[in-house]
Chains A and B, each alone.
Chain A
């Protein structure tokens, strides 16, 4: 059981590394830029895959942490210049923010759809607040927030400590892929650790976990915070990638999009949502170049068809196709085991 998961992990890591190494060799600069964006969105999807798929926390406002990080990077890099501190700050701020919200909500035993709506509200509040900072009076030191227009044209990443060595598209792509693979592996390790199994247990049955002496409120807060940190990382990378931030990062579309990615990729897996994000982002990019019909219409239609054909999401479906036979067998074994238990119980 655990071996399978490991080989799966290795497979995913292998593929990702191959992509990271090969892409810049075989494709031109533009596609490297596109793929960087895909990597960033995959990382973003990964954060929700963890929070929702493993923590069992439906967070409808994951984009709040993504956008917050992007804004923190933009504002602080304009003020500081050298990009290392701003980058770290950009990950730190949403993490702390999430820890506070999480503690507030989970210790109040808010959960399920109610938590989802609260997080959505948080995003929308950020949207309306940041949108209304058009005037010159809204600025953080040197950085003017600039309302709907957002901030653009700020510095991308540079080599730590050496503010003249600004990273080009290819280097940035390596950075994105490194963080993506890093986070994926880190989460896999976390899941196989003692804590990781407790996390899954809490998702499976919070009441039982409580009765066994686990503080689900703390567990949930912690899981949520980790997720926010990863989303923050993605957001910071996004700001670096596009060198622009604006309130659309906090709008309903963005909030829903990441959820769609996760479901399309497959809830309850880490690799699936990454695939989902890449696939859907790429689809949108490709559809934007055709003039046959309204893009939104086609996109929506494809989504519907997809769910009808691939209910469990891409990744689990693939897994099932691979192990259909063995699965049928295991169910048979399961029955035998059931009998064994009752025998065993009477045996002694």
Chain B
């Protein structure tokens, strides 16, 4: 585990929806250049946790620090501007626009000119092999393809931190392999947090894993140790309940 200040850190992060306690006093941190997987059964609070990080949901209490800066109460757009790029669980793209336009919009935010944005997006289109589809209207593409476009929108923004919520959902084996390669490329420039179910995939990409259960961290550590931990298996099989 590398030393130095964490890139992202949460302190006793808590979120309630009405009466439900979605996440409960989570202390979490990732180092720069780390690829961290967050796993856990359905309803463990993974998505709520992400929502709090991206600003789509306001934490009830606790703090979120990004590069030492408090972003707990910040709006999604300001958080994004700090260099945090997000892929939500369901493909979340501009269905009415073409692939090129989608990626251009993502690039435009931090380009000084439209031309520069166009260059950036063309590069990404090449790099991710989307050139044949560049003019296709995203709404008419298949599920997997739309996820891919969304990943392209993240790549073009060259972010410091990438939050991926189930990036391989609904993808074929070949496509998953493709995503894995992309993540490995991204790792050289950005920190990545991935929420995943596919254990094989996790073993391939991640060094460290955090297991959420009932809204709090059950266990955290190297992939091998965590995945072999009995509690984790119990949690997934629903035998175990943390008290």
Contacts and interface: CB of A to CB of B under 8 A. Distances in A.
A316 B175 CA distance: 38
B114 A194 contact: yes
B93 A205 contact: yes
B172 A213 contact: no
B145 A205 contact: no
Interface string A215-245: 1100000000000000000000000000000
Contact of B95 (A205, A340, A342): A205
Contacts of B145: 338, 341-342, 345
Given A212-B153, A338-B136, A346-B174, A207 B56 contact: yes
Interface residues of B, number: 50
Given A342-B175, A346-B178, A348-B129, A213 B136 contact: no
B145 to A, nearest CB: 4
A1 interface: yes
Given A205-B93, A334-B140, A345 B178 contact: yes
A297 B186 CA distance: 65
Contacts of B76: 207, 210-211
B105 interface: yes
Contact of B132 (A208, A214, A341): A341
A215 B94 CA distance: 16
Contacts of B153: 212
B4 to A, nearest CB: 26
Interface string B177-204: 1100100000000000000000000000
Nearest to B181: A348
B157 interface: yes
Contacts of A167: none
B186 to A, nearest CB: 15
Interface size class of A (residues with CB under 8 A): 20 to 34
Contacts of A204: 94-97
Interface in A33-63: none
Interface stretch (B17-25, B80-88, B215-223, B235-243): B80-88
Main secondary structure of the interface of A (DSSP, over half): helix
A140 interface: no
B141 interface: yes
Interface in A330-348: 331, 334, 337-338, 340-342, 344-348
A93 interface: no
B80 A213 contact: yes
Contacts, number: 120
B214 interface: no
Interface stretch (A13-21, A195-203, A272-280): A195-203
B169 interface: no
A201 B105 contact: yes
A338 B135 CA distance: 11
A340 B125 CA distance: 13
B122 interface: no
B142 A342 contact: yes
A341 B105 contact: no
A204 B110 CA distance: 20
Given A338-B145, A342-B172, A342-B175, A213 B137 contact: no
Contacts of A197: 101, 104-105, 108
A211 B129 contact: no
Interface of B: 54-56, 75-78, 80-81, 85-86, 88, 92-98, 101, 104-106, 108-110, 114, 117, 129-133, 135-137, 140-142, 144-145, 148, 153, 157, 172, 174-175, 177-178, 181
Interface of A: 1, 193-194, 197-198, 200-201, 204-205, 207-216, 331, 334, 337-338, 340-342, 344-348
Given A211-B80, A212-B105, A342-B175, 7 more contacts: A212-B80, A215-B75, A334-B141, A338-B140, A340-B132, A341-B142, A348-B129
Q: Which 5 A-B pairs have the closest CB atoms?
A: A344-B129, A213-B80, A346-B174, A210-B76, A340-B132
12 contacts: A194-B117, A197-B105, A207-B88, A208-B93, A210-B76, A210-B80, A211-B56, A212-B80, A212-B106, A213-B81, A334-B141, A340-B133
